[in-house]
Amino acid sequence: MAEDAVTLHDLADLARARLALGTWDFLEGGAGEERTLRAHTETYERLWLHPGVLTGAGNPVNATRMLGRTRAAPTAIAPMAYPTMAAPEGEVATARRAGAAGVPLVVSTFAGRTREDIAAATAPLWLQVYCFRDRATTRDLAVRAERAGFEALVLTVDAPRPGRRLRNLRNGFRLPAGIAPANLRGDGFGSSGDHALTEFDASLDWSVVTWLRSVSVLPGLVEGVLTAADARHTVEAGVGGMVVSKHGGRQLDGAPPTLTVLPEVVAAVDRTCPVLVDGGVRRCTDVLAAPAPGADAIRVVRPALHALAADPERGVARMRGTHNVPMRFTGAVPHNQVMGRHGDFRRGHGRRLRAPGPPRLERLPAGHRGRGPFPYPAAAARPVERCRTLKSELLLARLARARQRIDTVQAMLSHVADVYVPLPERERGCPSWQLLVNAPK
């Protein structure tokens, strides 16, 4: 039962036990060999929280402002296609719990329940939209969302076509009977990938942002930004915010984890608009990670799906408030200061996660002899770049010695007689010819 779940991983185990294999793989899987999907979670595994003591901060401060409105927590629930496969109520149940928690729910274009049904749950709602070849379809989605009381539009730009999802291909996955997008007209939705391939507009450029702003008064966000250049384009397009996202690892396998590119995007934006991030959240402490490189909020999706499948009513409620405990240990400061003061992102002995900047010319202490397998000479106050040069020279010297050894071995082999002798027919359990090496007398 969901009330027995102590962690988000417990909810995932409950969900997996209750869903068919094909459904679980559709909701949980990623593109290709799922390298990006795994890297998202592994990135959070390498993040450490440094506790703060005697801060005098009192209770944790979770409230934050997103798109001009105060939210109960720096969290939003990311869009999910066909969550009615996890539970018949789908987005309605999730919206009900999101409303109770005071966090936004981003509703997918491929939602299994109508916008009006979801809006009746009184949660803060944003609409995720794809731009279809038929712009009238996209316009209709935006207009209906505005009338239903949605607060924002989130334009997904990283899906010119669906990713190659091997789990679905191996399972021969088709949407179960009765599962279809409730807000789109037409048919042919049995295979979501085939429909997207024929209906999505793959020729989009930045003018689509201007067009979308012209058909709706709702503030817009661009979802799928991963580089500084795209972040600058997004700001120039005049949107209300952006989401550093890789579609949950379901599009381009091999793309970098979002948390690693976040500093680059934040530095390019320079606080001119809100920056959200998603991908890889699997525990409550992960919610504290995004502010480390400057995100204003973090979106979660798969834990919400797990909670919905485990128990539509009580499962999502188990996600509420679970990051208050680690916030207390880190000093109970506002969430956007926790990681700046107490967070560290490490690779082995690694470095603090920060926005990229010009390389620093550090100096080594007197007598320092380096850390690698090739010791540096004693170099008092020698720049790091010079020591790298010395290391390269040592490598070249070792390569030269290795070449001399190879030449010596080749000279010895030139005196060896290679004789090929056919083996008898009865002894051909090994290759037909055996090399006999006779050393010179």
By the 8 A CB rule, do 90 and 96 touch?
no
Q: Which residues are catalytic?
A: 247
In the chain (441 residues long), the average pLDDT of successive 10-residue segments reads: 75 92 94 94 83 73 82 90 92 91 92 92 91 91 93 93 90 90 80 69 90 93 96 93 93 93 93 92 80 84 91 66 51 48 37 38 42 37 48 72 78 55 46 42 42
Distance CA 221, CA 296 (A): 13
Give the Cα separation of 379 and 370 in Å (integer): 10
Q: Which residue shows structure tokens 């934040």? A: 266
Residue listed under structure tokens 């948390």: 259
Q: In the block, which residue shows the tokens 């984890």?
A: 257
Asked if residue 190 lies in contact with residue 175, where contact means CB atoms within 8 angstroms, the answer is: yes
Cβ-contact 15, 306 below 8 angstroms? yes
- Helices 207-215, 135-147: crossing angle, 10 deg rounding: 40
Question: What was the pLDDT predicted at 30?
Answer: 93
Say what the pLDDT of residue 66 is. 86
Please state, in angstroms and rounded to a whole number, the distance separating the CA atoms of residues 148 and 144.
6
Q: What pLDDT is attached to residue 356?
A: 37
The whole-angstrom distance between residue 322's C-alpha and the CA centroid of its chain comes to: 21
Count helices and strands (H / E) in the chain.
15, 14
| 152-156 and 220-223 strand pairing | parallel
Q: What pLDDT score does 197 carry?
A: 63
What is the distance between the alpha carbons of residues 243 and 257, in angstroms, rounded to a whole number?
13
Q: Check: CB of residue 258 under 8 Å from CB of residue 226.
A: yes
Task: Find out whether 439 and 413 touch, Cβ atoms under 8 Å.
Answer: no
Please name the residues in contact with 176: beta carbons below 8 A apart, sequence gap of 6 or more: 23, 85
How much is the pLDDT for 74?
Answer: 86
Question: Pairing between strand 343-345 and 47-49?
Answer: antiparallel
Give the C-alpha separation, 254 to 206, whole Å: 24
Provide the pLDDT for residue 399.
80
Q: Residue 197 is encoded by which pair of tokens?
A: 């391939």
